[in-house]
Chain A
Amino acid sequence: MSSLQFDIAHLLAGSLVLASFMMLYQDRLYALLNVYALHAGVLALSVAWQAYVQHAPHLYVTALIALVFKAIIIPVALHRIIRQLGIHREIENVIGVGLTMMAGIGLVALSMVVMLRVTPGADALAREDLAFALSVLLLGLLIMVTRRNAVSQVVGFMSLENGLVLAATGAKGMPLVVEISVAFSVLIAFIVIGIFLFRIRERFDSVDVQELDRFRGERR
């Protein structure tokens, strides 16, 4: 692999981590969705580049799924759902943005230390990809735990899943990548339909403990 090919792959994977960071500090749902669309677009580019570099044409399918389904259909659908259900457009954070960003930096450092240390034998591209993928995964988890409303938790989950696709395409010659990305798309479609059908509005908005007790069936 030439150094230019490596650099481009590195740039795209790094941009994905950067997009994850951008999601961390959004405080409006529409803005968050737009950043997610960007995230999925960067993923599509990254996967397409991997397909080209690895001479693995089936990965173009994964890239196409990422582009059409995740970067276009899902954000558009969520936009409509938010409008139709009248979901609050501001995102409530559990902790402040500054602290969340610090935690995010810590998580990225952690994944770099862990993944680079355990993969000295693997080729450089796969190593970097895995480290970036783990960062995206952990940042996705961070988005999920620091947000209170359902839609932004789902967006966090979807960004986490993008990290997994990055890892799977980075692992050269891995079988079933296309199948797995399809399976994940089905899962995400289910979640999005779930929001719509179940009309889950502003979940966890209330800090009323009694509400929580009622749900758990534990009230006397």
Chain B
Amino acid sequence: MTIDALGAILLIPAISAALLAILPGYLLTAKLNVVAAFATFLTSLSLFVIEPTSGQYLLLDDLNKVFIVLTTFVGFTTSVFSASYIHHEIETGRLTPAFLRFYHAMYQTLMFAMNLALVANNIGLMWVAVEMATLTTVLMVGIYRTHEALEAAWKYFILGSVGIALALFGTILVYMAARPAVGEGLDGMVWTVLVKHAAQFDPALLNVAFVFLLLGYGTKVGLAPLHAWLPDAHAEGPTPISAVLSGLLLNVALYALLRFKMMLAVNSAAIAPGPLMVTMGLISVIFAALMLYRRRDIKRMFAYSSIEHMGIIVFAFGMGGPLANFAGLLHMTMHSLTKSAIFFAVGHIAQVKGTQKIADIGGLTVTNPALGWGLMLGVIAIVGLPPLGIFMSEFLVVSSTFARAPWLTVILVLGIIIALGGLFLRVGAVMFGEPKGKTAPAEASYVPMFTHLGLVLMAGIYLPPVLVTGFQNVAKLLG
């Protein structure tokens, strides 16, 4: 059997995970981690040139191509950031080489699990992959082994497991609904087969299944009121993992949800998943925006901002239609790039200042100009000010939904504005107040951060037509 690109994006991380678990020396393994992530990214780009055929287990279409390229790209840039981040952690003694070996192996295992969830054509396999991604991130969140980190990991573990259990029940119900039409055996779980026959499924059973899937995978997306694990996991784990969690893992769970939404859309008798998603999205936006005002930990603050943005994205996909889907997809891409860039900056800032408490960080633009302005640019982007990419995608979300549901859109805009106020209020002192904390120059790698911000800026000014047509195709696919 020859291995095509789809197999390769699974094999490269899997083999590297095994290698990284054995090899000693963190300088070498950090480099190897970057090389492996880069190789995976290059392989994912090749999907555009040579398209492998989908089988019973693996699938490739326009939708997951976008997700795969985004995941492998952010996975690669984060590995570059991670190399300089862990260098500092070793020096300060927060992590030991033995833990680092484990950390790198887990990083590649996580990449493997996320890629598997994205290419799986079997809803059972997809579920296993999401579970695996959850487990690896739990282990990484608890890696500092402080009381707080262990509590956060435990909380994430329990809530994540419950979410995953509900998702499995939903998956079983989908199989039950499919069995009369598709027949017993493997076909009953193959996504492409399910979509083809979804019109004949029992709508009542499909409705119940979707509710469980929404609650289950929605927990992993971090939708309020199922978000409780998210701020703790972001705040207490290593910052590269916060970047991957916010930038990628939330997207992967959302992807799983979108696949099931597409299935339900085929069956006209089933409930429309849209209103459910719109409601949860709006609740998340408003709730997270209000929560931003009382945050005292900088990583927790940006974790709440992630909940807000996932809310916006789910809102856009929930509204549906080519334009709103396009906007949701663009917003998801922009959010992944911006939020991981912010976490790159925050990671180095927390290392320089030796604290994550907002009150103890001040005057960053004076003491560490590159980091300070980098974070400032990231915050300007994330709150949705022009001319950056998120302004454009938020504008598209609002304009594409305003005609159809003016009141809902007003609530959404209100949430975005409240969040803008909250973030600026908190970040202002960090940026411009009198210098506080240690003022040592940072040994940071600025390349990943400014690459992401550059891409976001470019997207805000000019979107390449190739990208636009690509996204339009996906939007059509999503219905």
Interface pair B154/A217, CB less than 8 Å apart:
no
Interface pair A118/B205, CB less than 8 Å apart:
yes
Stretch at the interface among A1-9, A26-34, A92-100, A153-161: A153-161
As a 0/1 sequence over residues 124 to 146 of chain B, the CB contacts with chain A under 8 angstroms (1 = contact) are 11011001100100100010000
Nearest CB on A from B159, distance (A): 10
Do A176 and B135 contact each other (CB < 8 Å), given the known contacts A121-B180, A157-B158, A215-B151?
Answer: no
Q: Please tell me if A187 contacts chain B, counting CB pairs below 8 Å.
A: yes
Interface pair B165/A164, CB less than 8 Å apart:
yes
Within 8 A of A (CB), among B171-196: 172-173, 175-176, 179-180, 184-186, 188-189
Stretch at the interface among A38-46, A61-69, A77-85, A190-198: A190-198
Interface pair B158/A217, CB less than 8 Å apart:
no
**How many A residues, CB 8 Å from partner?**
46
Residues of A close to B235: CB separation below 8 A: 217
Residues of B close to A126: CB separation below 8 A: 176
Stretch at the interface among A15-23, A101-109, A167-175: A167-175
Q: Considering only CB atoms, which chain A residue lies closest to B295 in the complex?
A: A218
Q: Give Cα A130 to B158, complex, Å.
A: 24
Q: Please tell me if A91 contacts chain B, counting CB pairs below 8 Å.
A: no
Interface pair B359/A171, CB less than 8 Å apart:
no
Partner of A203, one of B154, B161, B202: B154
Interface pair A168/B357, CB less than 8 Å apart:
no
Interface pair B165/A216, CB less than 8 Å apart:
no
Q: Give Cα A153 to B176, complex, Å.
A: 30
Residues of A close to B300: CB separation below 8 A: 216-218
As a 0/1 sequence over residues 126 to 169 of chain A, the CB contacts with chain B under 8 angstroms (1 = contact) are 10001001100100010010000010010001001100100110
Do A187 and B131 contact each other (CB < 8 Å), given the known contacts A126-B176, A171-B175, A194-B157?
Answer: yes
Residues of A close to B147: CB separation below 8 A: 215
Q: Please tell me if A11 contacts chain B, counting CB pairs below 8 Å.
A: no
Nearest CB on B from A16, distance (A): 15
Interface pair A175/B188, CB less than 8 Å apart:
yes
Partner of A144, one of B122, B162, B232: B162
Q: Please tell me if B296 contacts chain A, counting CB pairs below 8 Å.
A: yes
Do A216 and B232 contact each other (CB < 8 Å), given the known contacts A122-B176, A153-B158, A171-B176?
Answer: yes
Residues of B close to A217: CB separation below 8 A: 148, 235, 296-297, 300, 356-357
Interface pair B142/A198, CB less than 8 Å apart:
yes
Residues of A close to B135: CB separation below 8 A: 186-187, 190
As a 0/1 sequence over residues 56 to 67 of chain B, the CB contacts with chain A under 8 angstroms (1 = contact) are 000000000000
Residues of A close to B122: CB separation below 8 A: 175-176
Interface pair A118/B204, CB less than 8 Å apart:
yes
Which A positions have Cβ atoms within 8 angstroms of B? Answer: 114-115, 117-119, 121-122, 126, 130, 133-134, 137, 141, 144, 150, 153, 157, 160-161, 164, 167-168, 171-176, 179-180, 183, 186-187, 190-191, 194, 198, 200, 203, 214-220
The 3 closest A-B pairs by CB, nearest first: A173-B184, A118-B204, A176-B124
Q: Please tell me if B233 contacts chain A, counting CB pairs below 8 Å.
A: no
Interface pair A220/B296, CB less than 8 Å apart:
yes
Residues of B close to A176: CB separation below 8 A: 122, 124-125, 128, 189
Q: Give Cα A187 to B231, complex, Å.
A: 23
Which B positions have Cβ atoms within 8 angstroms of A? Answer: 122, 124-125, 127-128, 131-132, 135, 138, 142, 147-148, 150-154, 157-158, 161-162, 165-166, 168-169, 172-173, 175-176, 179-180, 184-186, 188-189, 202, 204-205, 207-208, 231-232, 235, 294-297, 300, 356-357, 359
Partner of B154, one of A114, A150, A173, A180: A150
Residues of B close to A171: CB separation below 8 A: 172, 175-176, 179
Residues of A close to B161: CB separation below 8 A: 157, 187, 191
Contacts A150-B154, A161-B165, A203-B154 known; list 10 others, CB within 8 Å: A118-B208, A176-B125, A180-B124, A183-B131, A194-B154, A194-B157, A200-B150, A215-B152, A216-B231, A217-B235
Nearest CB on B from A169, distance (A): 10
Nearest CB on A from B139, distance (A): 8
Interface pair B202/A121, CB less than 8 Å apart:
yes
Q: Considering only CB atoms, which chain B residue lies closest to A164 in the complex?
A: B168
Residues of A close to B173: CB separation below 8 A: 130
Do A174 and B175 contact each other (CB < 8 Å), given the known contacts A141-B162, A198-B150, A215-B151?
Answer: yes
Interface pair B297/A218, CB less than 8 Å apart:
yes
Residues of B close to A157: CB separation below 8 A: 158, 161-162, 165
Nearest CB on A from B210, distance (A): 12
Q: Give Cα A122 to B125, complex, Å.
A: 25
Nearest CB on A from B202, distance (A): 6
Q: Give Cα A176 to B169, complex, Å.
A: 14
Interface pair B296/A175, CB less than 8 Å apart:
no
Residues of A close to B189: CB separation below 8 A: 174-176
Residues of A close to B131: CB separation below 8 A: 183, 187
Q: Give Cα A219 to B232, complex, Å.
A: 14
Q: Considering only CB atoms, which chain A residue lies closest to B355 in the complex?
A: A217
Residues of B close to A180: CB separation below 8 A: 124, 127-128, 168
Residues of B close to A172: CB separation below 8 A: 179, 184
Nearest CB on A from B156, distance (A): 11
Interface pair B150/A137, CB less than 8 Å apart:
no
